[in-house]
Amino acid sequence: MKKLVFNDRGSVTIEAALSLTVLIIVAAAIVGAIATMAAYISAVDIAGAAARAHAIGVEYQPPRADVSVSVAESSGLITVTAQVPGVIGTMSATAAFPAEIGGL
């Protein structure tokens, strides 16, 4: 039994398999984080575009069907919050624009 315990045969294969698994998990986490940041950038863009559209009195249609846009107006300031689903949670962004004359 002692001979089997101190045998290093096959240890390189196991180490390679474990390290490749860890590399794949880390790569997947990086891709997920990049996709989530892309969702946040999209939320910022959608919130700004929706706020500009509502400030001039134009109806806004989000470019994606799975986007939630909420609009609030108080004392001439239009505030829009956009929520975009991402890989790691839902990303939210808020934009505010002053209402233009003849707008809402």
Domain contains 21: yes
In terms of residue numbers, what domain contains 18? 2-98
Q: What is the DSSP string of 32-87?
A: HHHHHHHHHHHHHHHHHHHHHHHHTT-----SSTT-EEEEEEETTEEEEEEEEEET
Answering whether pTM is above 0.85, one says no
Domain contains 40: yes
Domain contains 53: yes
Provide the pLDDT for residue 104: 47
Question: What is the per-residue pLDDT across 60-96, written as a single tens digit (0 to 9) for each?
Answer: 888 877 888 888 888 888 999 999 998 889 999 999 9
Domain contains 59: yes
The count of domains in the chain is 1
Question: What is the per-residue pLDDT across 24-60, written as a single tens digit (0 to 9) for each?
Answer: 999 999 999 999 999 999 999 999 999 999 988 888 8
